[in-house]
Amino acid sequence: TSMASAQAVGEKTMAEFGRIDGLVNNAALYGALRGGKFDAIDESQWDAAMAVNVKGIWHCCKAVAGSMRAAGKGSIVNIASLAATYGMPYALHYTTSKAAVIGLTRGLARELGRDNIRVNSVAPSAVVTEGTREFFGAKYDKALETIKQGQSIQRNLNPEDLVGTVGWLLSDASAFVTGQTISVDGGT
């Protein structure tokens, strides 16, 4: 949520490596959020989700854009969520923040495309992580089973399942792909 912190990471990366080729915006507030009916979500929870999940990405993009412009290219990959396109109930703050990530991705792709900087997002289904366990709490096993049953590929998503898509988006193999949101969701 801090522009100064994001800028410091960008500056440290430039000092150590001399350039920034890619950025993956993967930090998100998820596990610590308390779900519930939309009109029962605490305003501080709403604000926290927006501050980390949207404003944090904005800060990180701002922190690297100048270096990428100077290099004449770059790739930014924002981690969105299937929640944004599916419309996950009882987590409107999270769902809305991830929908904002998709909008930010598309708008920024148009803005930075002239500088040969690509901006895309990946929208995974629920990834088997501690954050997902924390978010679903006692309903974790049932939630993962329900998610799995709604997919063409009948297993849950692990962090390793995202590596290929993210790596491709960062690589020159996707040099003409920008403004896209790729679902990694087992065919939901």
- Which residues participate in catalysis according to the annotation? 94
Alpha carbon separation from 73 to 113, 117, 118, 136 (Å, rounded): 9, 5, 8, 40
144 CB-near residues (< 8 Å, 6+ apart): 126, 128, 132, 136, 156
What long-range pairs does 148-154 form, CB within 8 A, spacing at least 24? 148/186, 150/188, 151/125, 151/185, 151/186, 151/187, 151/188, 152/186, 152/187, 152/188, 153/186, 153/187, 154/186
Torsion of CA 161, 164, 167, 171, to 10 degrees: -160
Strands (E), the chain: 22-25, 74-79, 117-124, 181-184
